[in-house]
Amino acid sequence: MKPYLLPISFALVASLAAANPAAAQTFEGPYVGAQAGWNQNKLGTVESDIGTAQVDRSRDAATAGIFAGYNIQPANGIVVSAEGAVNFGFDDGVTRSQKDAMGSINPEYGFDLGVRAGYLVTPNTLVYARGGYENIRASVRVLDLEGPRSGKDNFDGWTIGGGVERAVTDRISGRIEYRYSDLGGSGTKFERHQVLAGVAYHF
């Protein structure tokens, strides 16, 4: 990711937070939004449908996507949300190439389904934690003693994180959050770190 994009993302949410406050009712009901930010894929040994990819590399890149969800307030100050998202990476493939071996994982897109649980520290500011399921569709290339092979595969696992969301009008909010995802299995490594800034419209 370009080094200036992350500060811009933080500046965007900071400017939203400085805007006129809105009603707490913003955090009730359905919403949709868009997000973008920084993504890092960290891969070790990755098992795929076409073979084992020995990658042992990481890569930083940009990511962007859309999300939708539904907020409820089961108690005063408590907000619980169900949320889904689709995200796309940009130039985020990870490759390790040697003389007689090569492993490459190039994520194309992913989706996640999860739950947020948070507390309104002010009537307009929500601090929350999140967790759920994530799935990534990727192109895979492998070169080993069996020869070169390529194909597609799905990698899935769990994700956790947290963030801050600020209502700036009755309908608009801005947020920034961190996510960690584990998409590997036993004896394999496929990790993802993300910092995302988003803007949501509440119905």
Quote the mean pLDDT of the chain.
89
**pLDDT tens profile 42-65:** 999 999 988 888 899 999 999 999
**pLDDT tens profile 85-136:** 999 989 999 999 887 889 999 999 999 999 999 999 999 999 999 999 999 9
Q: What pTM, to 2 d.p., does this model score?
A: 0.85
User: Does the pLDDT value for residue 177 go beyond 60?
Assistant: yes
* Confidence (pLDDT) at 97: 87
Boundaries of domain holding 19: 5-202
Q: Regarding predicted confidence, which is higher, 25 or 3?
A: 25
Distances in Å between the Cα of 74 and the Cα atoms of 19, 30, 63, 78, 127 are 27, 15, 33, 6, 16
Domain count, the chain: 1
* Confidence (pLDDT) at 19: 47
